[in-house]
Amino acid sequence: MEQISEATRNILGLQLPTDPRWVDLAAISIEAILTDHAWCEQKAATACISLIQRYTRKVKLVEDLAPIVTEEWGHFRLVLQEIRKRAFVLGNQRRDEYVHKLIAFQQKGGEEEGRLLDQLLTMALMEARSCERLKRVSEGLGDEEHVNC
């Protein structure tokens, strides 16, 4: 299996790279990738809003997450611009098996702090993987402006 570069591992904390077949540009639809990515950005913003709603009394958490909501929604809008620029259409959300399996792996009971930490770590992993994959796509396209996590 291909090793992930030291630089990527250090930045993203990922231990294994995405399967190179994932970014077989001849076999994938850029419109589908962009649609998928737009919805990932929306989910990131929504997940932060949900945490703010659930942990309102955690002042630092709320203050840290509030600007991330704005940032992630900004990413959604940027991806939407890319979709429009290419005369594509934002497609429907699809069920993401990878995300559902990660969520199923999260701690369900126990202390609130443990559940929160588990949720934050899961979100960080999804963000890192999404960033890695988008980087791979943009490298394949030779179009750096697509790198947007």
**What's the closest the beta carbon of residue 18 comes to Fe ion, in angstroms?**
17
Residue of 112, 94, 126, 104 whose CA lies nearest to 51? 112
Least separation in angstroms between residue 72's CB and Fe ion is 5
Q: Hey, which residues between 23 and 62 contact Fe ion (CB under 5 A)?
A: 41
Nearer residue to Fe ion within complex by CB, 107 or 123: 123
**Cα–Cα separations (whole angstroms), residue 85 to 42, 88, 90:** 19, 8, 12
Part of the chain binding Fe ion (CB under 5 A), chosen from 2-10, 57-65, 72-80, 112-120: 72-80
Interface with Fe ion includes 75 (CB under 5 A)?
yes
Least spacing, CB of residue 57 vs Fe ion, in Å = 27
Alpha carbon distance 127, 16 (integer Å): 15
Query: Helices (DSSP H) in the chain: which residue ranges?
Result: 6-12, 30-54, 59-85, 97-104, 112-141
Q: Quote the tokens at residue 131.
A: 């960033």
Residues that bind Fe ion in the complex, under the rule CB under 5 A: 41, 72, 75
